Structure 1
Amino acid sequence: MTHGLTLPTRGELQLFKEQQVILENAGVGICFIRDRLIQRCNRQFAHIYGFDSPDQLIGSSSEQLYPDSVSFRRLGVSAYPSMVRGERYTTELQMIRRDGTPFWCRITGNLISTDTPSLGSIWIIEDIDQQRQANEAFHALHHQQQLILDHAMVGIAFMRQRRISRCNQRMADLFGYELHELKDLSTRAFYPTTASWEAAGQRHREVLKRGDAFNTEIELMCKDGSRLWCDLRSKAINPDNLDEGSIWIIMDISERKAHESALLRAHDALEQHVTERTRELESVVNNLHREIEERRIAEERIRHLAQHDSLTGLPNRSLFDQRLGDQLTKASATGRKLAVLFIDLDRFKHINDSLGHHEGDMLLRSLAERLRQATGHENTLARIGGDEFVVLLNNVEPYERIEQLIHRMQSALQPSVHVGVHAFSISASFGVAIYPHDGNDIQTLIKHANTAMYRAKANGGNRYHFYNHHLDREAVERIELRNALYQALRNQEFELHYQPQVSVSEARIVGVEALIRWHRPGKGMVSPACFIPLAEECGLINEIGSWVLESACVQLKTWQQAGMDLRVAVNLSAAQLDDPGFYDLLKDCLQRHDLQPHQLELELTESILMRHVDQSVELLNRLDKLGVHLSIDDFGTGYSSLSYLKRFPLDTLKIDQSFVRDLCIDQDDAVICRTIISMANNLNLTVTAEGVEQADQLNKLAEFGCDLYQGYLFSRPLPAGEITRLYLEYRPAEAGRYAI
């Protein structure tokens, strides 16, 4: 029973499959836009804009692809009139990649239906950035060459098939022509007879074929029929192929011929003069040859850039695939084995976000050079994007050669890398796929090596993992988990648990921290550590964050009506901090539920705050003026810098449980906790200790002057109903078992 649903026909399914093949294999970016939101795109489109997969773009506004909102609106105004008339709209404009890098592209758009514009449009994107750079370099060279031509004291002409393809103004002046009249003019016009023209051509051709410079003094005709004695010099651009043309350099020597007898009497002066002019002419010829050589070098550089990463100079994905394909062909014929290593730097994104792109690029170049030296010349190391690298090992027998190479690369990364005043210790995760056991083609080997790398990263990073077929099942489970996550919000599978925050001095509950829980049907409870990173990856974290905020405010209002005086703390994600509409959403939520802003506390980690410092300061200042409390979660595990504590309008510091856990047995942890509490008190900040599980830990924290604590000593996170019971039943007099 279909319940009214219309199933697609076999033809429609076939058409959809064909469309998918076209999208995934197209050499250009393709996307479908509706209401200027990206409905669908192919992998090449995501790659052009610096995204790892189309999933990162689907559902998002295309405004993020433009340098600014003005250019975003300008394109809409420019494109719509022609598109609604059923015309294809094409233009070239500058857009930005995900990392903020500007680039030039050619875009072509059509409405899916001019009768129904609301169905959206399809756009084709071509990355022409390198082509534009090459054209600009070519035009610069052409301009320089034209300056030489325009300012030369002699006539200079480029000939092909004995016709003028280009010349300078001096050439036109010598023979009484306008410059445009000489374009494509046959040299026959300069000779009095056809016979003299043909004879000169024969002499000229024989000399140029030998690679020599042709030099003669000859009387030629001007446009008005008058005669002009010329010193004519010529050189073939390519002696092996005279069809490529030659260069003529012509000097007017009519006066010298007319006064030859006088010049003979001044022989010495003439000889010196001729020498100087000859040197000048040779300089012109040499300059022209130098420009030709520079153009050849520029073309070679363009070819190099097309196959190499512009930041590190390493081979790019295109060149790596080419080399891997060549080696697979040889290995197939000889039975030899080879391996592909997929390398991903551990936690590099967080470091890069904290440094900024310039310093991040410096760090990445340094790390790439270390990996290149460790890899050696016999193998191929390529950068395929971000902090991801691949290595082709041509000889992997015995297999110990693979592990030896990995150990060399790990050792190469071990010494700290210095960027400015910062020093970083970087590690990497390695995945290995071996031909032919793990795949017979380029894509399969790289995919399986990537899968193995993710297993190494999941096991803690700074290690390597060989591919095995069990990893495919894990990848399928990850996809299933992601699909289930999309349904979880719609099916109301999430719930909030709350962990009490207790006053150390008064032993009473003063607040709770809202913690999301997911009860997946048929699977039980799913750890937030599993689904929160996945939600960030697939773009659901903002929607989940909004649900948490809404649900927490609803519950806070319920408690308030029951006479419970509590503050609710909600964790804020990096995506929400980046969302320009978050402030209005938060303000609206408080107003709808008639809540005072000070009853809500937003928790942020240090790394989230430091991603975009200026943007964070602006948003937090607005939230502070609104009256919302702000706290730093997991303090001590990130930057822990006094400078940002002064810049940000914070109310609370939360000491990470890793320092509280061994507080009573590790003197260093005790010193850290005491220092954080003392510093916070001096800055008029409240301190909350996390993960308090033992009474002696609480006693120490009280001794240090800690304000609040939360942890299993008092209570684990509980459903809202249990919090109500605990708040109403618990009395300070019953706190003797926690007494200090």
Structure 2
Amino acid sequence: MKIVASLIPSDNAAAITSIARPSRLLETLLANLDGMVYRCRDDDEWTMEFISEGCLELTGYQPEDLLFNHRISYEDITHPEDRETVRQTIRACLDGKRRFELEYRIVRADGDVRWVWERGVGIYNAAGTLDALEGYVQDVTARKEADQALLEAERRYRSIFENAIEGVFQSTPDGGYIAVNPALARIYGYKSADDLIVSLRDIKHQLYVEPERRTEFMRMMAEFGSVSNFESRVYRRDGEIIWISENARAVRDEAGTLMFYEGTVEAITERKLYEAEIRHQATHDALTGLPNRTMLHNHLQRAIQSTRQKGTLTAVVFVDLDQFKFINDSLGHQVGDELLKTVAQRLVSCVRETDMVARQGGDEFVLVLQNQPDENRITEVLQRILSAVARPWVVGDREFHVTCSIGVSRCPTDGRDVETLLKNADSAMYKAKELGRNNFQYFAGWMDAQVSNRLEMLVSLRRALDRDEFKLYYQPKISLANGRIIGAEALIRWITPDQGMVPPDRFIPFAEEAGLIVPIGEWVLRTACAQNKAWQDAGLAPIPVAVNLSPRQLDQNLPEFVRQVLAESCLAAAWLELEITENVVMKDAEKTVATLNALKRLGLQVSVDDFGTGYSSLSYLRRFPVDALKIDKSFVRDIARDTDSAAIVKAVISLGHILNLRVIAEGVEDQEQYNFLLENGCDEVQGYLLGKPMPAEDFTRRLELEKKAAG
């Protein structure tokens, strides 16, 4: 290696050759340095007098290029933007006779910009005058870029830290926070991160609703070194309780000593509420909010277990509303839903918090009364239920009185498993209905046979249409003016191979329950129309035949169906009368008016059956396009003995005539009733006194006799 140096001007060749070369040791030392050693003058250009061979690698220039500014000065290769800063920094240090140290940029011979670090000192003579500067320059571009990358990473981390949606924290094992981001402060309800750190110094007791969660957090950290999806309830600064989920790890030093915890926090209150809602929907009835069948079965199972352990009684109480179908059909499902919610509240008010009230479905509720000491205590609850359900229920300007039928099974007396107890309570409930409703019955073993009979009836009823087991009977309607037959009512009978004739009051409710009343009703209408046309074709005097409609038939399709039946049978519409009960008429007044108008346009007659038992108002009755009112037989039965019944019948007759309607009394069974109705101007009567319901062939003979008598 050759060191190019000069302490005197370059034009003095003799001086140059007289300078002694450094020793071999110094040359080796300088050559191995990763950088450039220099000596320069204290002039405007800081002219280089000595430069080590590291100059080439550092600057891209040969040392000879920079010595005495032969080709370029070192000042010139200093980056233009840094020259003034470099000179001022070095000058300040020289003035203070201090070492100087600084970083700046240079422009290499190939145009590449590099960062360098320079360290040097001023050389002073004996008089204290500055003679020269000596120093060392090293390329630090790689470090500078690394530092810059680190700063950029820190900036980005800080940005992420500050702007993250999730809370970020570092906390100490003793319960304080070292660092938190703004998001965590917002989650916990603090004004700022600093406010949180200063205010929240005891995480275990200030933050966690259940302090043991902090204990569990630290235990898991000690055992696993981290936690994932650690869910807890915590207090916000204002006292509000929220749900959070934490992911965190323990940070230890090289010796393994725990330094702090760090991690993230996510607010999950909304998710937890949603999950709770989903769980609630899975186990509760959407309408009433009561437990559903799933929750009922689970609760009853636990109650049975408790009964075995404590030796007490558990009662399963089946509650079925007696008048629900009437209200639902008459006033609409919205009103029916309101009734169910009201009944649910009343049932809950009758029991303890440890008992359960569940909705089984429809208008059926099931109560589980557990840990009952004896049957007397159960009976007291049942009496409260009957009384609570029967309280008046007001809808608009109407007041309803709804009752219920209750069946009860007891554990362990009537069963030791869920299904048996529910089945037996259901059997007892149907017995309560058979005994007049609005009562309760405890299960007895003989009730099982009755349940089997009910199921058999439902199965047989489904097959009855296909097997042609239904038959129409006809009951004559008699004119009080002349005593002649002026109409008939078609009444269905079910004649089974094994039981014979089944009365309508026994199978019609089952048909309603099984959803068979619509096809049965359609069969009745077709059969009655066909039979009436057959009488006319036989030359008998034409009379209207009345057919009862089920509430389920009174919909928008009814007029079109009636039109089709009349067309199929070739019966003139004037000889068909449809009887609709007062309760059905009031189901949906506006809709009913529209349907009845459509039926009337066909030319048939419409009468209101069972009048006086429902809730009709005169304002609606005037709007209904009806032809007749039928007085319910419950009033006719007692007109000779009961002044109230007599007054009601008189009022209905008077009302009907004021509205230009015919008035028909049904259930006339003795001459005294007949005479009362005749005296008070009733138009028509029907009942056993005047003729029982009879098969079509018997009614035909009755019409033939009437024809002869008139003849």
Question: Which band: TM-score by shorter chain?
Answer: 0.5 to 0.7
The code of the aligned residue for 2:611 comes to: F
Residue by residue over 1:541-563, the C-alpha shift from the partner in whole angstroms, topping out at 9 and shown as x without a partner, is 22222222222122212211232
The code of the aligned residue for 2:551 comes to: A
Structure 1 position 318, deviation (Å): 2.7
Residue by residue over 1:496-521, the C-alpha shift from the partner in whole angstroms, topping out at 9 and shown as x without a partner, is 21111111111111111111122211
Residue by residue over 1:387-415, the C-alpha shift from the partner in whole angstroms, topping out at 9 and shown as x without a partner, is 32222122233221211211122233343
Q: 1:189 aligns with which of 139, 145, 153?
A: 153
Name the residue aligned to 2:353. Answer: 377
User: Separation in 2 of the partners of 1:470 and 1:325?
Assistant: 25
Structure 1 position 598, deviation (Å): 0.4
User: Separation in 2 of the partners of 1:588 and 1:536?
Assistant: 24
Counterparts in 2 of 1:493 and 1:561: CA distance versus 1, 3 Å = same
- Any residues of structure 2 matched to 1:172-251 within 5 Å, and which? 189-190=153-154, 205-207=170-172, 210-212=175-177, 214=179, 240=214, 241=217, 243=227
Counterparts in 2 of 1:624 and 1:471: CA distance versus 1, 3 Å = same
Q: 1:615 aligns with which of 591, 600, 610?
A: 591
Name the residue aligned to 2:546. Answer: 569
User: Separation in 2 of the partners of 1:528 and 1:609?
Assistant: 22
User: Separation in 2 of the partners of 1:231 and 1:723?
Assistant: 96
Structure 1 position 319, deviation (Å): 2.6
Q: Does 1:604 align with 2:580?
A: yes
Name the residue aligned to 2:445. Answer: 469
User: Separation in 1 of the partners of 2:625 and 2:649?
Assistant: 22
Residue by residue over 1:85-143, the C-alpha shift from the partner in whole angstroms, topping out at 9 and shown as x without a partner, is xxxxxxxxxxxxxxxxxxxxxxxxxxxxxxxxxxxxxxxxxxxxxxxxxxxxxxxxxxx
Q: Is the 8 A contact 1:208 1:214 kept in 2?
A: no
Q: Does 1:328 align with 2:299?
A: no
Quote the sequence identity (%): 43
Q: Is the 8 A contact 2:548 2:579 kept in 1?
A: yes
Residue by residue over 1:199-222, the C-alpha shift from the partner in whole angstroms, topping out at 9 and shown as x without a partner, is xxxx963448724362699xxxxx
Q: Does 1:676 align with 2:640?
A: no
User: Separation in 1 of the partners of 2:631 and 2:157?
Assistant: 100
RMSD over aligned CA atoms reads 3.6
Structure 1 position 416, deviation (Å): 2.0
User: Separation in 2 of the partners of 1:473 and 1:187?
Assistant: 88
User: Separation in 2 of the partners of 1:362 and 1:648?
Assistant: 27
TM-score, with structure 2 as normaliser: 0.63
Q: 2:455 aligns with which of 456, 475, 479?
A: 479
User: Separation in 1 of the partners of 2:241 and 2:671?
Assistant: 88
Counterparts in 2 of 1:603 and 1:187: CA distance versus 1, 3 Å = farther
Q: Does 1:696 align with 2:672?
A: yes
The code of the aligned residue for 2:450 comes to: E
Structure 1 position 440, deviation (Å): 2.0
The code of the aligned residue for 2:548 comes to: N
Counterparts in 2 of 1:668 and 1:720: CA distance versus 1, 3 Å = same
Q: 2:697 aligns with which of 718, 721, 732?
A: 721
Q: For residue 395 of structure 1, give the secondary structure of its aligned residue in structure 2.
A: strand
The code of the aligned residue for 1:190 comes to: E
Q: For residue 315 of structure 1, give the secondary structure of its aligned residue in structure 2.
A: coil
Q: For residue 640 of structure 2, give the secondary structure of its aligned residue in structure 1.
A: coil
Q: For residue 554 of structure 2, give the secondary structure of its aligned residue in structure 1.
A: helix
TM-score, with structure 1 as normaliser: 0.61
Q: Is the 8 A contact 2:477 2:485 kept in 1?
A: yes
Q: Is the 8 A contact 1:576 1:582 kept in 2?
A: yes
Structure 1 position 232, deviation (Å): 7.9
Q: Does 1:630 align with 2:606?
A: yes
The code of the aligned residue for 1:684 comes to: N
Counterparts in 2 of 1:189 and 1:732: CA distance versus 1, 3 Å = same
- Any residues of structure 2 matched to 1:344-493 within 5 Å, and which? 344-493=320-469
Q: Is the 8 A contact 1:690 1:711 kept in 2?
A: yes
Name the residue aligned to 2:472. Answer: 496
Counterparts in 2 of 1:599 and 1:331: CA distance versus 1, 3 Å = same
The code of the aligned residue for 1:485 comes to: L
Moved more, 234-243 or 206-215: 234-243
User: Separation in 2 of the partners of 1:563 and 1:319?
Assistant: 67
The code of the aligned residue for 1:205 comes to: Q
Q: Is the 8 A contact 2:171 2:179 kept in 1?
A: no
Of structures 1 and 2, the larger Rg is shown by 2
Name the residue aligned to 2:22. Answer: none
Q: For residue 491 of structure 1, give the secondary structure of its aligned residue in structure 2.
A: coil
Structure 1 position 299, deviation (Å): 4.8
Name the residue aligned to 1:687. Answer: 663
Counterparts in 2 of 1:483 and 1:320: CA distance versus 1, 3 Å = closer
Name the residue aligned to 2:144. Answer: none
Q: For residue 350 of structure 2, give the secondary structure of its aligned residue in structure 1.
A: helix
Name the residue aligned to 2:499. Answer: 523
Pairs aligned (count): 494
Q: For residue 561 of structure 2, give the secondary structure of its aligned residue in structure 1.
A: helix
The code of the aligned residue for 2:154 comes to: F
Structure 1 position 282, deviation (Å): 8.9
Structure 1 position 490, deviation (Å): 2.2
Structure 1 position 457, deviation (Å): 1.4
Residue by residue over 1:433-465, the C-alpha shift from the partner in whole angstroms, topping out at 9 and shown as x without a partner, is 112232222222112111211111121111111
The code of the aligned residue for 1:575 comes to: R
- Any residues of structure 2 matched to 1:624-663 within 5 Å, and which? 624-663=600-639
Counterparts in 2 of 1:286 and 1:437: CA distance versus 1, 3 Å = closer
User: Separation in 1 of the partners of 2:681 and 2:650?
Assistant: 8
User: Separation in 1 of the partners of 2:484 and 2:157?
Assistant: 115
Counterparts in 2 of 1:714 and 1:380: CA distance versus 1, 3 Å = same
Q: For residue 478 of structure 2, give the secondary structure of its aligned residue in structure 1.
A: strand
Gapped runs of 5+ residues in structure 2? 1-149, 162-167, 183-191, 198-202, 218-225, 231-235, 245-265
User: Separation in 2 of the partners of 1:282 and 1:337?
Assistant: 49
Q: Is the 8 A contact 1:508 1:731 kept in 2?
A: no
Write 1 or 2 for the structure with the bigger share of helix: 1
Structure 1 position 632, deviation (Å): 0.9
Q: For residue 410 of structure 2, give the secondary structure of its aligned residue in structure 1.
A: strand
Name the residue aligned to 1:150. Answer: none
Residue by residue over 1:131-179, the C-alpha shift from the partner in whole angstroms, topping out at 9 and shown as x without a partner, is xxxxxxxxxxxxxxxxxxxxxxxxxxxxxxxxxxxxxxxxxxxxxxxxx
Moved more, 303-312 or 634-643: 303-312
Q: For residue 325 of structure 1, give the secondary structure of its aligned residue in structure 2.
A: helix
Structure 1 position 684, deviation (Å): 1.4
Counterparts in 2 of 1:469 and 1:666: CA distance versus 1, 3 Å = same
Structure 1 position 656, deviation (Å): 0.9
Name the residue aligned to 2:567. Answer: 591
Structure 1 position 603, deviation (Å): 0.8
Q: Is the 8 A contact 1:507 1:732 kept in 2?
A: no
Residue by residue over 1:576-595, the C-alpha shift from the partner in whole angstroms, topping out at 9 and shown as x without a partner, is 223x5433332222223322
Q: Is the 8 A contact 2:329 2:551 kept in 1?
A: no
The code of the aligned residue for 2:427 comes to: T
User: Separation in 2 of the partners of 1:361 and 1:187?
Assistant: 67
Counterparts in 2 of 1:557 and 1:532: CA distance versus 1, 3 Å = same
- Any residues of structure 2 matched to 1:20-99 within 5 Å, and which? none
User: Separation in 1 of the partners of 2:296 and 2:582?
Assistant: 38
Moved more, 508-517 or 476-485: 476-485
Counterparts in 2 of 1:610 and 1:234: CA distance versus 1, 3 Å = same
Q: 1:667 aligns with which of 639, 643, 652?
A: 643
Structure 1 position 340, deviation (Å): 0.9
User: Separation in 2 of the partners of 1:418 and 1:529?
Assistant: 29
Q: Is the 8 A contact 1:438 1:448 kept in 2?
A: yes
User: Separation in 1 of the partners of 2:590 and 2:298?
Assistant: 44
Counterparts in 2 of 1:191 and 1:207: CA distance versus 1, 3 Å = farther
